[in-house]
Amino acid sequence: MDVVAANQKKLNLKKDRNAQPNRNSYTVGDLALLIPPRKRNKLSPIYLGPFTVKALLPNDTLQLESIVDSHTLNAHASRVRPFRGTHDKDTIQKIAALDLSEYIVEKVVKHKVEDDILLFRLRWLGYDTDSDIWQPYDEDVIGNERVEEMDEALRPLGKSLRGLREALDGLPFDPAAESEEDVNEDDESSDDDLSDASAGPTASTGAPAANAPSGSTGNRRSGLAFLSSPGKAYIRTAIAGPFILDMVRTIHSYNHRAQLLSIRYE
């Protein structure tokens, strides 16, 4: 009986060690470590940081701030661990500086949707394909400047496409001048055009827009296409950056929400 009790105690201790940390145990100002992508080799660090917890965000997400350069990133609590080492400022800055430039996102490889959650597969700079990981859109991916700018512009969509066109003004791609007639195409032509848009930048026949950024790919409507269908409008564009997004977004006029439908990567 004593042997059984001892084994049970050992199993309970193992469960406690492997259990996920309490995601509500962090407060602003705490020091925390971040679990990096899959390790490249045995010498790669188990954790990155320490970071300072700057804010507690919804959906069990923490905003972490680098002690070295004040850069911030969002991470799910399942990837964060409490820092239990010294709190001497000089010491923790030296520790954090060791991995300051590691695990930079080189590019987004692909995307998928699981349980209504948009996930991106990330390639890390200096790491091979075995280190690619899937990340929710509300984590590291959202820190990409191009994606962030587009998301901010498309979030507060108005009821009309005219409002959308105004919201796109100033983004790093050419919104192009579209006539109101283009918006009112019939449903059959909309379906055909949507299939053409989904083919990606290489299927485009138009030249890049005159004021499009260097490296961007023009489409047959010089940067922006509006396609109509019952209750929805489709928008397609290409932008320049470390990767090119060929984007199709569905804009639901009844709730003003933009839902990402398709992304193609180069």
Q: What is the pLDDT of residue 197?
A: 32
Q: Which two tokens stand for residue 51?
A: 């970071």
CA distance 25 to 190: 51
Q: What is the pLDDT of residue 210?
A: 32
| Average per-residue pLDDT for the chain | 56
Among 103, 117, 127, 109, which Cα is nearest to 51's?
A: 103
- Say if residue 203's pLDDT is above 80: no
Helix (H, G, I), strand (E, B) or coil at 262: strand
- Say if residue 232's pLDDT is above 90: no
Cis amide prior to 230 (ω within 30 degrees): no
Q: What is the pLDDT of residue 54?
A: 94
Considering only 41-50, 162-171, 254-263, which range has the smallest mean pLDDT?
A: 254-263
Q: What is the pLDDT of residue 28?
A: 93
Greater model confidence, 241 or 145: 145
CA distance 185 to 44: 55
* Number of helices followed by number of strands (H, E) in the chain: 6, 12
Using an 8 Å Cβ cutoff, are 44 and 103 in contact?
Answer: no
Using an 8 Å Cβ cutoff, are 241 and 146 in contact?
Answer: yes
Using an 8 Å Cβ cutoff, are 81 and 65 in contact?
Answer: no
Sheet containing 72-76: order of strands: 72-76, 61-66, 48-57, 31-34, 80-82
Using an 8 Å Cβ cutoff, are 225 and 193 in contact?
Answer: yes
Helix (H, G, I), strand (E, B) or coil at 234: strand
Using an 8 Å Cβ cutoff, are 122 and 103 in contact?
Answer: no
- Total Cβ atoms within 10 A of residue 69: 10
pTM: 0.34
| Conformational region of residue 256, where left means phi above 0, alpha means psi within -120 to 50, and beta covers everything else | left
Q: What is the pLDDT of residue 46?
A: 76
- Say if residue 25's pLDDT is above 70: yes
Greater model confidence, 45 or 171: 45
pLDDT in tens, 160-182: 334 444 444 444 433 333 333 33
Greater model confidence, 147 or 30: 30
Task: Please give the average per-residue pLDDT across 136-150, as a whole number.
Answer: 52
pLDDT in tens, 75-126: 888 889 999 888 888 888 777 776 654 455 666 677 676 776 666 677 766 5
Task: Collect contacts of 181-187 with beta carbons under 8 A, ≥24 apart.
Answer: 182/221, 182/225, 182/226, 183/226, 183/228, 183/233, 184/228, 185/227, 185/228, 187/228, 187/229, 187/230
| Conformational region of residue 119, where left means phi above 0, alpha means psi within -120 to 50, and beta covers everything else | beta
- Total Cβ atoms within 10 A of residue 143: 13
| Conformational region of residue 14, where left means phi above 0, alpha means psi within -120 to 50, and beta covers everything else | alpha
Which domains, from first to last, does the chain contain?
A: 13-142 (2.40.50.40), 144-264 (no CATH)
CA distance 188 to 130: 43
Q: What is the pLDDT of residue 223?
A: 33
Q: Return the top range by mean pLDDT from 86-90, 126-130, 240-244.
A: 86-90
- Total Cβ atoms within 10 A of residue 206: 14
Q: What is the pLDDT of residue 121?
A: 75
